[in-house]
């Protein structure tokens, strides 16, 4: 995904912006029924959000909700 590479370069690999792109990519994998890749991407996104905002944050909870979808 080209957008992910651009965001990683612009914002850093551990930024919330990258987490958002990882979330978007995970949705594409889910639509294509590649659930292993979906899980890899959403897990990385969750780790970034938890590290950046904390496990009790609204931002982390929103990303966790996306995992359940």
pLDDT in tens, 25-61: 999 999 999 999 999 999 999 999 999 999 999 999 9
Contact 41, 23 (CB under 8 A): yes
Answer whether residue 3 shows pLDDT above 70.
Answer: yes
Q: Long-range contact list for 66-69, CB < 8 A, 24+ apart? A: 66/23, 66/26, 66/27, 66/42, 67/42, 69/30
Residues in contact with 1: Cβ distance below 8 Å, sequence separation at least 6, in sequence order: 21, 25, 28
pTM assigned to the model: 0.89
pLDDT band at 68 (very low <50, low <70, confident <90, very high): low
Task: Report which of 40, 18, 37 is spatially closest to residue 29, judged by C-alpha positions.
Answer: 37
- pLDDT confidence band for 69 (50 / 70 / 90): low
pLDDT at 65: 81
């Amino acid at each position: 995904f080209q957008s992910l590479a651009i965001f990683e370069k612009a914002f850093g690999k551990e930024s919330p912006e990258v987490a958002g792109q990882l979330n978007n990519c995970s949705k594409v994998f889910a639509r294509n029924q590649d659930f292993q890749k979906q899980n890899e991407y959403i897990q990385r996104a969750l780790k970034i959000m938890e590290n950046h905002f904390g496990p009790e944050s609204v931002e982390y909870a929103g990303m966790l909700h996306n995992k359940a979808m």
